[in-house]
């Protein structure tokens, strides 16, 4: 049975930390599904289409079977089950992430014990990078330099074009 991992997030915008996790997942699993979660309650910085397209672009040169899928609603574990996934891949940048992910892993395990959660810790140079940090930079004098340091080049171009 192939090991299929799901790496989910809003990716608004995708960061170098997300890219690191995708690379790790591609090496770890037979197939990695990058699940772009859409929250209709939030107003996104980048549209769903922009995020989907730039995610497809940044994963295109990564070895391994990777596909990008948009998740419009429902529980992640239900999407994972439908995708035939065996694992959920999650990143831990700090202790707050750990507490949240521990709770989610236990809840997902109750919903489907066949789907395991894998937690990964990124290198220290990526641990402070988040989508919200990047969004906060945009518009501040000198923002382009800092955004470029936090996101893949394709994402920096997309943000600059906005």
- Which residues are known to be catalytic? 18, 42, 93, 131
Asked whether 137 and 129 are in contact (CB, 8 A), the reply is no
Q: At what angle do helices 153-161 and 143-150 cross, to 10 degrees?
A: 140
* Of residues 38, 59, 57, the one with CA closest to residue 47: 38
Residue 96, Cβ neighbours under 10 Å: how many?
9
CA angle, 32 then 36 then 39, to 5°: 150
CB 112 within 8 A of CB 81: yes
Could you identify the residue written with the tokens 């709770």?
103
């Amino acid at each position: 049975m192939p090991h299929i991992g799901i790496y989910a997030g809003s990716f608004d915008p995708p960061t170098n930390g997300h890219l690191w996790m995708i690379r790790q997942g591609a090496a770890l699993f037979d197939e990695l599904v990058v699940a772009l979660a859409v929250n209709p309650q939030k107003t996104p910085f980048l549209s769903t289409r922009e995020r989907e397209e730039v995610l497809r672009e940044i994963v295109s040169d990564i070895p391994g079977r990777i596909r990008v899928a948009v998740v419009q609603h429902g529980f992640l574990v239900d999407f994972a089950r439908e995708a035939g996934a065996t694992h959920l891949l999650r990143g831990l940048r700090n202790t707050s992430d750990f507490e949240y992910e521990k709770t989610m892993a236990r809840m997902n395990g109750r919903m489907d014990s066949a789907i395991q959660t894998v937690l990964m810790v990124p290198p220290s140079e990526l641990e402070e990078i988040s989508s919200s940090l990047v969004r906060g930079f945009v518009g501040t004098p000198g923002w382009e330099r800092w955004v470029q340091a936090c996101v893949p080049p394709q994402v920096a171009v997309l943000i600059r074009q906005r």
